[in-house]
Amino acid sequence: MSNPLSPSPSSVTNAADRDVPLDAAVYESKFDLSLASAATDSDALSPVYTAEILDDEKTESPTTASVTPPRAWPVRLWFATASALHWMFGVVCLLLGLSILASIPLLQFLTLGYLLEASGRVARSGRVRDGLIGVRGAARIGGFILGAWLWLLPLRLTADMWYDAWLIDPQSHVTQGWRIGFIALCVAIFTHICWAWLRGGKLRHFVWPAPVRLLKSLPRVGVLLGEKADELWDFVVAMRAPYFFWLGVRGFAGALVWLFVPTLLLIAALRTEDAGLGALIGLFGGAVMACALLYLPFLQTHFAAENRFRAFFEWRRVRDMFRRAPLAFWCALLITLLFAIPLYLFKIEILPREALWLPGLVFVTFALPVRLLTGWTVGLARRREAPRHWVFCWASRLAAIPVVLFFTLILFMTQYISWYGAWSLFEQHAFLIPAPFLGG
């Protein structure tokens, strides 16, 4: 004989269907059975009445989660504004970081890999916002660097004062005072920077040192250091630097395969002593370069979306995608080549190595929107199934011919103003490293 106080399987199942916790289901089943036992044998309890009682008990149950009242609109506006400013600060930090990496040899492939991954993600998802990778993380790194740099300013000022006093009289009491003050300030600022890092490393942590919290945290400094070291390691691993580097190397190699032969032909056209033969070689090289430019921007994005090196040679796949979005392909090609032309002015004279990140910032700023646009174009073509009308396809093809021919002419003429002359034709920032010079 079953226990009359045990919950029936049907009652527990019904409670689970209504997303009620298990303890509440048991309580409701016991309450239901007690009501049934109180009723006469001839008069069964009405199911509707039982449901009403159970609903009342469920609403009054202490297990029901309390609803958080919505925030007032000034609070929501404040948080939205702060989030937007934090995001924009992250975009600026991201562009600065990519430009610095683009000016350092070998690390340049990290920048190219990031741009390719941004284009590939947009092509896979179709959303432009997916291409802005790591904006919040860049804001966190930039906030820590900015906060530490601002706190080092008084330290630099104190060091200059100590050095000036030492030049005047190395043995004076003023010099010794500045020396002691410099050492004390070094200890204080270094402690403050470390404490700000332990608290999260955000920019607001550098504004107020929170001395009471610091004193309370002294007994467990070792535990905090271990936790932050683990968080730092997880943050570095999440950046996926090896992946971006390898993607950039393969993207560079694939683009170079397409550009190597036409670039050599353009260089050979100038090195040939026979003017007529040089003109023929130049025309043939220009035609090959123009054909490569028709496919290369979209082949790079296709490679990044598929993450296969063989995708660089699937030009028929690109032609099929072109038929499904011809106008978008033409606009992406036009903007890609148009944005690359003004940047050749930065190749006229080489800059000092420590200042190469300044033009690199311009190159990255121009390259990122172009990569996002190309990714969106390829994503649009991947989502469509039927090709567009043949009128739009042929109109886009005919309109693309003067675009690539004009860019090829500009590219051929840039060797007369570039620092490395004819060999600068290999430094095509629109498809290779987004920097004025490959060597950094």
pLDDT, residue 425, reads 87
Q: Which structure tokens are listed for 133?
A: 């990778």
Cβ atoms of 387 and 327 within 8 Å: the answer is no
DSSP 264-282: HHHHHHHH-S-HHHHHHHH
Residue 247: count of CB within 10 angstroms of its CB = 23
- pLDDT confidence of residue 323: 94
Cα(415)–Cα(421) distance, rounded to whole angstroms? 5
Residue 88 is inside which H or E element, if any?
helix 73-102
* Predicted pLDDT of residue 212: 82
The H helix count followed by the E strand count for the chain is 15, 0
- 428: left (phi > 0), else alpha (psi -120 to 50), else beta? beta
Among the ranges given (68-72, 263-267, 280-284, 399-403), the one the predictor scored with the smallest mean pLDDT: 68-72
Contact status, residue 90 vs residue 138, Cβ threshold 8 Å: yes
How confident is the model at residue 440, as a pLDDT?
58
pLDDT at residue 2 tops 50: no
- Does this model's pTM top 0.75? My answer is yes
Instruction: List pLDDT tens digits, range 15-64.
Output: 434 433 334 344 334 434 343 333 333 333 333 333 333 333 334 444 44
CA distance 51 to 323: 61
Considering just the CA atoms, what is the radius of gyration of the chain in Å? 33
Q: By C-alpha distance, which of 356, 338, 344, 340 is closest to 418?
A: 344
pLDDT tens digits, one per residue of 269-320: 888 888 888 889 989 999 999 999 999 999 999 999 999 999 999 999 999 9
